[in-house]
């Protein structure tokens, strides 16, 4: 982590990730695309997602979550920053000359070779089927549906632990504490996602949030009664309602949002523990 000198009250608390392990300042242009900003507005121009807008310009990196070039080794060319995700990404060049971006794992080095194969050496960064990964190994970028591409454990520092094999399914424990079954034919990468210190970042000042495209959020208790269920009163007042609500009066705290008839519910062995 990078800590700043306390030249101001906001700078005193500010921290950021140390980008010393990155090896490139500019992305591979052929693998980038422009994504237009909506600032939280729909096709009618109405704000449907509050507190979004502004921010630095950025280009989207087309990351390959499938890594479907089977049995073709690839060499790590660079480790790069991605403004659209918390993890670092790696530019790889395959033996046939094609370049792709992939999620970088912790301790991945430039010049290292990785491979996607049904059975391969159990090295960090290699990708293989869950049925061939021993119990106790950490995996990331896990497929929920074989061939669809990784969907689980993709954010900075995340991983899933292989707990066992049950017939057609592998049992994984996620960082949230949830234990679930995933098809054994699904592919997963060995290791832990890079940039594991990301959760320790302290934004420090309001301006830095604006650089990230985050606009100010006003507390409900600071509003008028017409604007929020928590609004009104002289000075600072308590919530005054039985249950936590959003600005439109919908109950937010303690309400289950998962669909009861979701197809994957039967694959969840243990739900994540309540905080």
Is the pLDDT at 275 greater than 80? The verdict is no
Q: What are the residue boundaries of the structural domains of the chain, listed by start?
A: 18-199
Average pLDDT over every residue of 95-118? 95
Question: In DSSP terms, which residues pair with 140 in a beta bridge?
Answer: 189
**Taking CA 182 as the corner, what is the angle to CA 180 and CA 183, rounded to the nearest 5 degrees?**
155
H or E, element range at 210: helix 206-211
- Collapsing DSSP to helix, strand or coil, 132 comes out as helix
- Do 79 and 27 meet the contact criterion of CB atoms below 8 Å apart? no
DSSP-derived secondary structure letter, 271: P
Mean pLDDT, rounded, of the chain: 94
Range with lowest mean pLDDT among 62-71, 94-103, 245-254: 245-254
153: left (phi over 0), alpha (psi -120 to 50) or beta: left
CATH fold, domain 18-199, is: OB fold (Dihydrolipoamide Acetyltransferase, E2P) (2.40.50)
* Residue 28, token pair as written in the block: 């591979």
Please provide the DSSP assignment of 76-95 as one string. EEEEE--TTSSS-EEEEEET
169-192: per-residue pLDDT in tens?
999 999 999 999 999 999 999 999
What span, in angstroms and rounded, lies between the C-alpha atoms of 211 and 214?
7
- Collapsing DSSP to helix, strand or coil, 46 comes out as coil
To the nearest whole percent, how much of the chain has pLDDT over 90?
A: 90
Q: Write out 96-116 in H/E/C secondary structure.
A: CCCEEEEECECCCCCCCEECE
- Collapsing DSSP to helix, strand or coil, 197 comes out as coil
Looking from the CA of 98 toward its CB, the CA atoms found within 13 Å total: 10
Range with lowest mean pLDDT among 109-118, 122-131, 253-262: 253-262
Q: How far apart are the first and last CA of the chain?
A: 27
Is the pLDDT at 231 greater than 80? The verdict is yes
At residue 254 the predicted structure's pLDDT band, cuts being 50, 70 and 90, is confident
At residue 225 the predicted structure's pLDDT band, cuts being 50, 70 and 90, is very high
Sign of the dihedral defined by the CA atoms of residues 48, 49, 51, 57, in that order: negative
Q: What is the reported pLDDT for 209?
A: 96
φ/ψ of 266, rounded to 5, equals -70, -15
User: Residue 197 CB: number of other CB atoms within 10 A?
Assistant: 15
Residues 6+ apart with CB under 8 A from 134: 122, 162
At residue 257 the predicted structure's pLDDT band, cuts being 50, 70 and 90, is confident
199-219: per-residue pLDDT in tens?
999 999 999 999 999 999 999
């Amino acid at each position: 982590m990078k800590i700043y000198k306390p030249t101001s009250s906001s700078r005193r608390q500010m921290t950021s990730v140390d980008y010393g392990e990155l090896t490139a300042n500019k992305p591979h242009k052929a693998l980038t695309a422009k994504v237009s900003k909506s600032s939280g507005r729909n096709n009618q121009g109405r704000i449907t997602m509050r507190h979004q807008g502004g921010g630095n310009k950025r280009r989207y990196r087309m990351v390959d979550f499938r890594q479907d070039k089977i049995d073709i080794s690839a060499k790590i060319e660079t480790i790069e920053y991605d403004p659209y995700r918390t993890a670092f990404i790696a530019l790889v060049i395959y033996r046939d000359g094609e370049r792709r971006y992939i999620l970088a794992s912790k301790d991945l080095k430039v010049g290292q070779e990785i491979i996607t194969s049904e059975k391969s050496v159990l090295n960090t960064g290699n990708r293989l089927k869950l049925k061939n990964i021993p119990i106790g190994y950490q995996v990331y970028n896990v497929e929920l549906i074989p061939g669809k591409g990784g969907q689980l454990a993709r954010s900075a520092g995340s991983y899933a632990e292989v707990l066992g094999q049950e017939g057609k399914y592998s049992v994984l424990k996620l960082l949230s504490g949830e234990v679930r079954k995933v098809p054994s034919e699904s592919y997963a990468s060995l290791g832990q996602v890079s940039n594991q210190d990301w959760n320790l970042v302290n934004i420090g000042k309001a301006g830095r949030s604006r650089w990230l495209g985050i606009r100010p959020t006003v507390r409900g208790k600071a509003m008028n009664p017409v604007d929020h269920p928590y609004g009104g009163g002289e000075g600072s007042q308590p919530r005054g309602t039985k249950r936590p609500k959003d600005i439109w009066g919908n109950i937010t705290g303690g309400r289950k949002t998962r669909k009861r008839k979701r197809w994957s519910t039967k694959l969840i062995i243990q739900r994540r523990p309540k905080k």
